[in-house]
Amino acid sequence: MTNRCMNSLISNKTGFETESIKTWNAGKHTMSTRLAEIFAYASGYAVESQEMVFIFEMSGGFLPMGHRTAAKHDIEIFQTETMNTNLHDEKGGQHLLVVTLLLGLGAVYHSLLCQDETKEMMINELLRNYATKPTAEPPKPWLIAPLKCIGLNKLPDITAEHRGTCSALGEEQ
């Protein structure tokens, strides 16, 4: 379902029908370190959708570019279809469907690029799967600041007093 919505978002913006997104919520993705530093990350099952939304919003040519350098040097996206599916705690198929649909689609739904046609498609799919109420919309994902903004260079100083409790960094007794 997330693939269909991402394809709808692309089609609505480009004017060309596409099915180019095939594995977006599969959880199998990589990116360069420099690209990872500028991403605003979503939590939980919204992480992959938010990554794609961020790429389209920052360099897709539809909104003012937030990261000209990244867009200038191209952003390659590789999709990997896995032979082994992810294992999850058994909470019932409906539970996983509801959680993944709500959170994954929330990133797309709340994107500045998402048009009414795609939003309507999402709401109808969520209703069909009993994942939402007729008056509700997918929740906006909680975003984590880009790594570049967090100040990871301060991490060693912040964690220094706790190194003794970490076997990898603490001294052997």
Which tops the pLDDT comparison, 69 or 9? 9
CA distance 121 to 140: 17
* Tally of structural domains, the chain: 1
Under the banding of pLDDT at 50, 70 and 90, the label for residue 116 is: very high
**Across 54-83, average pLDDT:** 70
Q: Report pLDDT for 25.
A: 65
Q: Report pLDDT for 110.
A: 92
**Location of structure tokens 């909680």:** 142
CA distance 159 to 55: 32
Question: Does the pLDDT value for residue 112 go beyond 80?
Answer: yes
Please report whether residue 170 resides in a domain: no
Please report whether residue 103 resides in a domain: yes
The three-state (H, E, C) secondary structure of the chain, written as one string: CHHHHHHHHHHHHHCCCCCCCCCHHHCCCCCCHHHHHHCCEECHHHHHHHHHHHHHHHHCCCCCCCCHHHHHCCCCCCCCCCCCCCCCCCCCHHHHHHHHHHHHHHHHHCCCCCCHHHHHHHHHHHHHCCCCCCCCCCCCCCEECCHHHHCHHHHHHHHHHHHHHCCCCCCCC
Query: Which residues form the domain of 125?
Result: 2-151
**Across 125-143, average pLDDT:** 83
pTM over 0.85: no
Pick the closest to residue 36 from 173, 150, 157 (CA basis): 150
Q: Report pLDDT for 94.
A: 62
Q: Report pLDDT for 102.
A: 81
Which tops the pLDDT comparison, 115 or 36? 115
pLDDT tens-digit readout, 11-29: 887 788 878 777 666 666 6
Please report whether residue 137 resides in a domain: yes
Q: HSE (CB half, 13 Å, CA atoms) of 114? A: 24
Please report whether residue 123 resides in a domain: yes
Q: Report pLDDT for 39.
A: 83
Residue 36 belongs to domain with CATH number? 3.90.550.10
**Across 74-94, average pLDDT:** 60
Please report whether residue 27 resides in a domain: yes
